[in-house]
Structure 1
């Protein structure tokens, strides 16, 4: 980089993550590309195998991306009537929130795609995706030289004013000193003359037999004093079906001030904090300072604790916002989904009169001829777009009807696509016998529905009125007995253990706080939270502000979307509430487990529904062995915990041995619990695999287990879960019995496990029941053995 390009200070920089990937057909590798762009800022694509008329498929990979791309027929378009098998092509994909700092450039021909990234103080960056010719064609050397000459012109054009990063498939191994040819000599001469730098970090090309043989993918860069990270070869991407590994680099780069100014106008309420982009040291310093000032304040009553909680929520949000490196947001103008010669003519005419109107000074006079022509051409353009949209819909409907009898597979594919295009929003909601229409009424309908769910039915109480009255009387006595039984204050070790046990990466609570706000804060905040928790433990009460949760209705993916009963309520509780809950749970869990029914598997650590189903499955298999009739009756406890009377649960908890203020804290947590409606959304179904999913042979080469091995691994996962259960557990005792007395001809599930273990040489199933290893260690042992045999 020439001296005249200023170097931005490191403190003002943002980390840009750039990936280059030869995908060998973006259609078959769309899942890989989608994962890469979601985890990084830019993805440079080579060999997307799309022609110019198909480039819109790149934009369909993800709803939040934009792109610049070229097909091999960029400068010699092929007729859309017949297109050969795809090949070549380059593209650059970026996240849509970077649109305001991206400018597409026309430099280079069909093997080169360039974009300009706007930086601070006019320190702009040129990103280039390149695909150099392979040795497969007759004129490959001349084509190779021509492409490098184009690249050389681009570097010379921008090197004095821009930073430059070139990423792509060079089709030559610059690290292999034993391979010498005129193509490589020409490439090395270009790199040396232009002063470009690169790294040799590992092989990126994989042969058909799965062997990594050469390093063909590189980043060539000219970044002045900016120090990029070393090239990283992403050779563990499981869903990658290409014969190239993606490569990745990072740079610290100053984003344009213009983009930052635009970003300030956007609504950033409860915006998710990207903790990997936060200046943690600064965040710790700010939170330590704020916590230290609050620690000196009086904190002896629940009212004072509530006031302190409000301040804690405030300064945690402010500190995170101050230290976060938020990237600019930009809403690009919507693009046309259709195109035709009539639309092109209407657009050209509209632009013509718009330019004349601007030149006149944008006079909005109804008598002005140019203004009238501008309105007329704009109206005509929109009419042509509507006509073309209608034609597309009619064509789609006609195609569905025609394929219904000729090609049933295609028919169902078209119907599925048609369903996907529908929106998820609902304009009316049925709550019981009432239909509510309009956005506000729908919101109110959801509130009413979940309020009804949380209210016990009057008929249930009436049927058991006498018992219910007895329970309520007993709860009154228990409350009096436990209110003076103080509990030990929480320790710093308990607090730290509780914080670390809470899942990270979750949605923020009603106050905009996640567990990361606490996890990344300084030690002073831990002491402050410890004081707050001990006030709650001392009082035996929970502040009302910790009982407010955000509730989101989530569609169950079955039934009609406008029926309230087909939605599940997902509630996000305040983080500090979860911390208190975790500390209390760790304290009372040993007493609860003693009285818990031995057959209970739900809400039990290290267990789950599959464990509960195992004894039932064995009874069925036993009946099959003995040719006996077998009938299974199941109870559907619908919305069981939502409508349960909490006082009955509290009585059971007291008799389980929780007879101090821990009982009071749990009771107070359940009182006046409030759920605030956040939004109504529907979960989209995961996209199914494409019809050209690689066969098992390709799966093995790419490191993915074939279907049979995956089923066997799931069986072993459940068996390993049984092995790690306590010796007195029902399923472990059942396993010992069945493995001991059943022959290999039995239908027993455990005999099937035994057969699988023999097949993969995993040893004796009975010995695994006594093996002293953790669940993860046993599972890794099984996986390694599977992979070893398949290789």
Structure 2
């Protein structure tokens, strides 16, 4: 017998899914039905279809945990082995059908990818019906999507013969697969078809896989605790903390005349801050957290564990003595079953409590709200069991930590390169030595810091971050009060006076962060983020304040990374405008996107320091920056412990305040060379051949030879500065229009002596660039990312039924999903087909989180949620981008291009700025040239565009809604986009109120299925009479107002509703016209227009309760009817 059985198309619905556990006494299982999102009542049960599930042997029950990941087409369980865990997924992907179902197929694939990313440390096994044959030569979008998924996540399989036989008996295909991610811990030994199963009546032939797990001690179970306990500042007595710090710092010697004294002074401050915080905090909050064996712990669970241990002990004792009885066996099973039942119940309660905390925090504490959401989004903490460093596989926590140290230590040491300009490198070293002597002899003081500057710098640092190596966080300094600001001012001015940096501020802790691409076990796919001492960060902010006024004027205008009042999207806009300009003239465009290997980590210190001096940073200011990079030391923090220290001989630390500014200066000369060459792209007389964002360099040109020259300049500079441009990751994307017949295959570019790949698409600053310059690939990529972001929010309750309330769900959608969905689209301004794809995804998502069927009228989700249609969102972002360009200096490249294009181009031009002109006209906004000449402030421009765009789409949605009869009861006169419909506002945090809203929204949008509706839209004759009272047709008015079978539920609530109506409108509810009665119950806004939301909140609560109570009553009564009568036959 197999240990696990993965099934697809079990044909059970949500109310029948429990039958998976009733197949056999020795089998346990779990599954999902097709109606999990919107459960079908038993009274409306159609013919069975779809569904997935997983079955396992009962004796393995203690190893298996069912998890609610993915949608209704995938069921996941975690198998907890001794040394690792296995994520087992049963999937049933959409069939091709008549329309190929690509969108739904791609959505399922993206969800599978998101699940794999969440459980990166698990062994991944995915099996099921993929409804796509990978063994044929035929190509399709579905096949390419599946193959791309397999390649991206390093999945492997073994193909079998045909697994699906068509009912015609002739056609067959291989559409059932078992995929496993490549791992050293598990091996797929054998995959074969189960041809000899005589009882199989399905069109599919079962596929069997044997997997062997290598039982080896890979991961250490006992993790080392952190060096410093995290302080919960909400439990700290701040007044006492300030008093302790003030009292203890009074004894410090303020005579900071030598670096040794400064070093000791900082160490004393660290000790005072950490000891005072620990003394003032609740000691319970400072204990190192132990790993809990159970997620929840109650007195009942404690007692159940005790009884379970006693039952197990008696079982073993009697088994050894030969006196074991059936009663002892049953008692042990019952005690274990009771314990597991309690644990499941408590886990469910804990999950509900976490969602309640999110609901409460949304209205009371915004920071807490987003912190709780992020906590829910994060998957289980990654427990890396294997790491590959320099081709060597390492296992075990200590070995992996040492491997990280070797990896980052190697990056920190300059390497010899045959092609590097060694003469230039020697000159920089010689010049730096001379500059050092000059600056040491320069006695010009650095501008001293004031207490106001220190206070402002403290406010710029982010709170809630990890402590540094000394256990100090920003909160330690913030909560210490004004005396600490005075001490810091004196201390930092002493450092300025000495022009040296204390060694205690040069120690950093590197944390490896996965780049979310490539293998999770390869050290090269991680970047090292350094946590530096907090006082050192303050010093960096002060230095940055003093060097920015020198560096910003000389920064090349094509550099748009980490630049004030500039967006990285400016780079993409320049590229897009040049491509549009060239294609309009029927010229080709060749773009080179260059990638530097570990750019920040290999910055040559001597060259950087010489560039600083040449830029005008001299004297003590130069000396202090130089000393910051001298004898800098780092350790690697991994699994709660740190590695041995190693010196940093090159690079600027990622995580440092100064790093971005220093790196921009480091590559500034390259951008100057490229722009001074006058090669490549021009728009009018404006050179725009190298739009750059930090280390993302691109070069564009109409001429292939000029592009090669630009690449040669970049290669020459990289050899001078001793960093490497990667020839495989640096690519060429040729864009040719319809009028250009020149074959790109005849062209070639090189990076040094190595050919550069010519590709049809690549990603630059998050925007997909393709050889057709169409936005479709970027739109598809955004939808994929948005699907994964949406999936990651499901654990927070963003899933409609049984989740968060609609208002909170829409807020999460606006905050975490829509920005991803629309990223970069203001550059492309996509056309009708791409807008349709985006709109379809957004509408489907809104309907899902509002618990509405997919057949709901399209304007309804926008009206209820207050979310702008996707076209309006994109236009708002484009207008915001244009507004920011209008506020730039007249010398800025983007503004010069804007003025030129708007002045010389006709309205038929494809120019981005001409398109913006039509957008401005659409929303009745000022002309673009007038905006450029007299720009509005940021807030004024935002308020104006928000008002005009919202007004336009409000009128458009009102016009569309008037054409749908199902929306006749949905009030649209007071529609206010940007705010959720008042009917969906919860008012309380009660779980039952959230369930009531879904019933109300179905009634409001005409999607609640009554007997008259079924009779009108069913091809089988259906009796429209009410099945409960059989007195008349079951219309909406009959259901809500008249049906006598539900009067016991309705009458008490109608009395209360009448009282509310009388107090608001001075009339009796029963005397209103039938249509007006329905309007009051469904959406009273059009009736009580002069009443505020607070005044009608009680009425809304009563109407919501009435709808839900009648729904429950109807369901209970119909469940007592015979099945044929439920259908009205």
- 1:317 Cα deviation after fit: 2.2
- In 2 relative to 1, CA 532–297 (structure 1 residues): closer, same or farther, beyond 3 Å? closer
In structure 2, what is the equivalent of residue 304 of structure 1?
261
- 1:530 Cα deviation after fit: 1.4
Structure 1 CA distance for aligned equivalents of residues 235 and 950 of structure 2 = 37
* SS at structure 1 position matched to 2:513: strand
In structure 2, what is the equivalent of residue 544 of structure 1?
503
Structure 1 CA distance for aligned equivalents of residues 309 and 394 of structure 2 = 47
Contact 1:292 1:524 in 2 (8 A): no
- In 2 relative to 1, CA 523–782 (structure 1 residues): closer, same or farther, beyond 3 Å? same
Contact 1:553 1:568 in 2 (8 A): yes
1:473-531 CA distances to partner (integer Å, 9 max, x unpaired)? 11011000011323233222332232222233333222222223222322111121112
Contact 2:499 2:620 in 1 (8 A): yes
1:743 counterpart (901, 906, 915): 906
- 1:635 Cα deviation after fit: 1.6
Structure 1 CA distance for aligned equivalents of residues 44 and 339 of structure 2 = 31
In structure 2, what is the equivalent of residue 431 of structure 1?
389
In structure 1, what is the equivalent of residue 276 of structure 2?
319
* SS at structure 2 position matched to 1:571: strand
In structure 2, what is the equivalent of residue 8 of structure 1?
none
- 1:332 Cα deviation after fit: 6.0
- In 2 relative to 1, CA 384–498 (structure 1 residues): closer, same or farther, beyond 3 Å? closer
Structure 2 CA distance for aligned equivalents of residues 644 and 353 of structure 1 = 61
Contact 1:551 1:571 in 2 (8 A): yes
In structure 1, what is the equivalent of residue 633 of structure 2?
674
Structure 2 CA distance for aligned equivalents of residues 349 and 545 of structure 1 = 50
- In 2 relative to 1, CA 309–720 (structure 1 residues): closer, same or farther, beyond 3 Å? same
TM-score, normalised with respect to structure 2: 0.39
Structure 2 CA distance for aligned equivalents of residues 550 and 479 of structure 1 = 28
1:287 counterpart (240, 245, 261): 245
Contact 1:353 1:374 in 2 (8 A): no
Structure 2 CA distance for aligned equivalents of residues 542 and 580 of structure 1 = 9
Superposed, 1:70-219 pairs within 5 Å as none
Matched, 1:483 2:440: yes
- In 2 relative to 1, CA 356–520 (structure 1 residues): closer, same or farther, beyond 3 Å? closer
1:554-605 CA distances to partner (integer Å, 9 max, x unpaired)? 1111111111111121222111111111111111111112222222212322
Superposed, 1:390-469 pairs within 5 Å as 424-459=382-417, 463-469=420-426
* SS at structure 2 position matched to 1:761: coil
- In 2 relative to 1, CA 421–290 (structure 1 residues): closer, same or farther, beyond 3 Å? closer
- 1:322 Cα deviation after fit: 4.0
- In 2 relative to 1, CA 740–292 (structure 1 residues): closer, same or farther, beyond 3 Å? farther
- In 2 relative to 1, CA 437–758 (structure 1 residues): closer, same or farther, beyond 3 Å? same
- 1:746 Cα deviation after fit: 1.5
- In 2 relative to 1, CA 324–761 (structure 1 residues): closer, same or farther, beyond 3 Å? farther
* SS at structure 2 position matched to 1:769: helix
Contact 2:411 2:602 in 1 (8 A): yes
In structure 2, what is the equivalent of residue 73 of structure 1?
none
- In 2 relative to 1, CA 701–656 (structure 1 residues): closer, same or farther, beyond 3 Å? same
Consecutive unaligned residues of structure 1, counting only runs of 5 or more, are: 1-49, 55-79, 87-265, 337-346, 387-419
1:614 counterpart (573, 576, 579): 573
In structure 2, what is the equivalent of residue 200 of structure 1?
none
Structure 2 CA distance for aligned equivalents of residues 382 and 544 of structure 1 = 58
- 1:369 Cα deviation after fit: 7.0
Structure 2 CA distance for aligned equivalents of residues 293 and 363 of structure 1 = 67
- 1:672 Cα deviation after fit: 2.4
Contact 1:287 1:522 in 2 (8 A): no
- 1:648 Cα deviation after fit: 0.5
- In 2 relative to 1, CA 744–275 (structure 1 residues): closer, same or farther, beyond 3 Å? farther
1:724-760 CA distances to partner (integer Å, 9 max, x unpaired)? 3222111111112122222222111122222222223
Between 544-553 and 506-515, report the one with greater CA deviation.
Answer: 506-515
User: Over aligned residues, Cα RMSD in angstroms?
Assistant: 4.3
Matched, 1:714 2:877: yes
In structure 2, what is the equivalent of residue 694 of structure 1?
846
Contact 1:353 1:370 in 2 (8 A): no
* SS at structure 2 position matched to 1:471: helix
In structure 1, what is the equivalent of residue 310 of structure 2?
354
Structure 2 CA distance for aligned equivalents of residues 560 and 53 of structure 1 = 37
Matched, 1:775 2:734: no
1:759 counterpart (898, 914, 922): 922
Structure 1 CA distance for aligned equivalents of residues 932 and 231 of structure 2 = 45
1:693-752 CA distances to partner (integer Å, 9 max, x unpaired)? 214642443233332222222223322332232221111111121222222221111222
* SS at structure 2 position matched to 1:614: helix
In structure 1, what is the equivalent of residue 294 of structure 2?
334
Contact 1:537 1:661 in 2 (8 A): yes
Between 487-496 and 672-681, report the one with greater CA deviation.
Answer: 672-681
- In 2 relative to 1, CA 275–716 (structure 1 residues): closer, same or farther, beyond 3 Å? farther
- 1:271 Cα deviation after fit: 4.6
1:67-109 CA distances to partner (integer Å, 9 max, x unpaired)? xxxxxxxxxxxxx9986899xxxxxxxxxxxxxxxxxxxxxxx
How many residue pairs get matched?
490
- In 2 relative to 1, CA 505–357 (structure 1 residues): closer, same or farther, beyond 3 Å? closer
Contact 2:311 2:331 in 1 (8 A): no
* SS at structure 2 position matched to 1:293: coil
- In 2 relative to 1, CA 373–483 (structure 1 residues): closer, same or farther, beyond 3 Å? farther
Contact 2:439 2:618 in 1 (8 A): yes
- In 2 relative to 1, CA 299–725 (structure 1 residues): closer, same or farther, beyond 3 Å? same
- In 2 relative to 1, CA 512–85 (structure 1 residues): closer, same or farther, beyond 3 Å? farther
- 1:645 Cα deviation after fit: 0.9
- 1:618 Cα deviation after fit: 0.9
- 1:544 Cα deviation after fit: 1.5
In structure 2, what is the equivalent of residue 557 of structure 1?
516
- 1:678 Cα deviation after fit: 1.6
TM-score, normalised with respect to structure 1: 0.55
In structure 2, what is the equivalent of residue 106 of structure 1?
none
- In 2 relative to 1, CA 554–378 (structure 1 residues): closer, same or farther, beyond 3 Å? farther
* SS at structure 2 position matched to 1:745: coil
Structure 2 CA distance for aligned equivalents of residues 557 and 85 of structure 1 = 45
Structure 2 CA distance for aligned equivalents of residues 421 and 371 of structure 1 = 45
In structure 1, what is the equivalent of residue 887 of structure 2?
724
Contact 1:354 1:374 in 2 (8 A): no
Structure 1 CA distance for aligned equivalents of residues 503 and 788 of structure 2 = 37
Matched, 1:581 2:540: yes
Structure 2 CA distance for aligned equivalents of residues 371 and 544 of structure 1 = 72
Consecutive unaligned residues of structure 2, counting only runs of 5 or more, are: 1-13, 19-38, 46-223, 297-302, 341-377, 641-786, 794-798, 800-840, 848-858, 955-975, 977-1129
In structure 2, what is the equivalent of residue 733 of structure 1?
896
- 1:651 Cα deviation after fit: 0.5
In structure 2, what is the equivalent of residue 534 of structure 1?
493
* SS at structure 1 position matched to 2:590: coil
Structure 1 CA distance for aligned equivalents of residues 523 and 305 of structure 2 = 50
Structure 2 CA distance for aligned equivalents of residues 312 and 503 of structure 1 = 20
Contact 2:308 2:332 in 1 (8 A): no
- 1:767 Cα deviation after fit: 2.8
Structure 2 CA distance for aligned equivalents of residues 270 and 293 of structure 1 = 25
* SS at structure 1 position matched to 2:255: coil
